[in-house]
Amino acid sequence: MPALLLYAPTASAGGVCGRAAGTNAITIHVLGHGWHTGIVVRAADVTAGVWPEAADFPDATFLEVGWGDRAFYQAREPTLGMVLRASFGSASVLHVVGVEGPPERFFSGAEIVDVALSRAGLDALIRFIAGSVARGAHARAPALGAGRYGRSAFYAATGTYSLLNTCNTWIGEALEAAGCQVNPSMATTAEGLLSQVRRLGAPR
C-alpha cells in the first residue's frame, strides 16, 4: 500500500480537506513553481486580525505565501555558498504576494492545483501561516523588504530551513494543519508535495 495512504495527519481544529469538504467548501490553490511551491488564498477569506501582515496588501484579491531560506530567497543572484549554508540549517523568511485578479492569469507559468477546505480547515491554515511570522515585540511584523515579483514583501519567519525542512515541507505542514492528508516528511521536494496534493484536489 502506498505510504501516503498509511499516513495519519495531525488532527486540525475540525478541518476537512478535499472532496469531503462538501458544497460549502472554500477553494485554495497550491502552486508549483518548478523547485518551489506556494499557497494561494482569497484575501476576502482571511478573517480580519488573525494574520496581521495580510493588511499590508489592501488591494489584493488573492495572497500567495511561500517560506524559505532567508539569504537564498531574498538574493537576486543566489550563490553556491548560500545553497550550501541553507542545506545545513539557516534562518527563514515568509514571502507574501498580493495578487489582483485570478491566480491563473498572474501565475500563468505555474502548475495550479485547486484544493477544497472546510471553513475550519481554512481558519487552521491561516493560523498556521500567521504563526510562521516572527514578530518579536511587534503586533504586526515590519516587512524586511520587497519580494521577488509583483506587489510582494518578505517577513522574518519562524523555523530553520534545511535539506529536510524545505519550502515544500512548510507547505505540506500548512496543508496538514488544515486537515489535509499530506505527509510533510515526504514533501521535501516540489514533486514530493505536488504528487500528494494532486490526489486531494483538482489539477488545472
Taking CA 35 as the corner, what is the angle to CA 195 and CA 71, rounded to the nearest 5 degrees?
A: 135
pLDDT of amino acid 147: 94
Question: Which residues lie below 8 Å from residue 145, measured CB to CB, with a gap of 6+?
Answer: 74, 153, 154
Q: How far is CA 7 from CA 1, 3, 19, 66, 180, in A?
A: 11, 6, 18, 24, 11
pLDDT of amino acid 21: 80
pLDDT of amino acid 86: 52
Would you give per-residue pLDDT tens digits along the chain (204 residues)?
Answer: 333 333 344 445 567 887 778 778 999 999 999 989 999 999 999 998 999 999 999 999 999 999 998 887 876 665 555 555 555 557 899 999 999 999 999 999 999 999 999 999 999 999 999 999 999 999 999 999 999 999 999 999 999 998 889 999 999 999 999 999 999 999 999 999 999 999 998 888
Going from N- to C-terminal start, the domains of the chain cover 3-203
Q: Are 194 and 174 in contact (CB under 8 A)?
A: no
Per the structure block, which three cell numbers stand in for 91?
534562518
Q: For the whole model, what pTM was predicted?
A: 0.88
